[in-house]
Amino acid sequence: MRILYCGDVVGKSGRRVVLDNLPRLRAELALDFVIVNGENAAHGFGITEGMCDAFLNGGADVLTTGNHVWDRREIMNYIEGQPRLLRPINYPEGTPGKGWGLYEDAKGRRVLVVHPMGRLFMDPLDDPFAAVERVLATCRLGKDVAAIVVDIHAEATSEKMAMGHVCDGRASMVVGSHSHVPTADAQILPGGTAFQTDAGMCGDYDSVIGMVKDGAIARFVSKMPGIRLAPAEGEATLCGLFAETDDATGLAVSVCPVRLGGRLRPVLPERA
């Protein structure tokens, strides 16, 4: 199975680079399954129903989110009826939506997507490791499902790396989100799980993690409250992670970071 994960989509430029390129990438890379993190798609904060529909109709199979999932309040009703939009799994019981889901690709192969959120330097949610463990205990890779993808939305690289090693050999891919900067450690872990600490963002890199530079810098320099952040709207880079899995085991046989367009050096996996 050939899987693509697209990192945090930031604002209009991020939406544009994903929607403009995803159909072509699906064809050229013979992708079987695509996950897009859309938590910053709506002017940098949250995601709307219309944007969800655009991504799902434009080539994404599943959307993940993160700590900005509730920034657009209307999404609370939508997420209850849209199983392909996930919020972090370790929110307390009773929170709208789900943090994991079972899906099928075009060939009928089952894919489990699990979406934990870290706790270091972030909201003190329930234990993400215990939440992931409960799901993995019920879905065995290569037996119950053909592939398992874990999107760990976290600030600390250590927490994301720890999740990768905890899931090694039991997931096809563990990929970090939230930092908006792609790390240089794409690899297959010893147990066969594709891993990258952070996939980076889909957005304009002539910015401060996707936001207009002047406003973001002013927050650090002046420390004055009330300075509004707005997403940068120059040419964006699509950043993500590609993995190909073994059909028999569900483990990764290849992994490659993805960078396309904008200011960053382009990197693409080999075509099918």
CATH architecture of 2-206+233-260: 4-Layer Sandwich (3.60)
> pLDDT tens for residues 77-100?
999 999 999 999 999 999 999 999
3-class state of residue 114 by DSSP: strand
Judge contact between 245 and 3, C-beta under 8 A: yes
Is the pTM here over 0.85, yes or no? yes
Q: Active-site residues: which are they?
A: 68
166 Rama class: left (phi>0) / alpha (psi -120 to 50) / beta: alpha
Going from N- to C-terminal start, the domains of the chain cover: 2-206+233-260
3-class state of residue 220 by DSSP: helix
Q: What is the mean pLDDT of the chain?
A: 96
> How would residue 270 be classed by pLDDT, with cut points 50, 70 and 90?
confident
What's the Cα-to-Cα distance from 87 to each of 84, 95, 233, 270, rounded to whole Å?
A: 10, 9, 26, 32
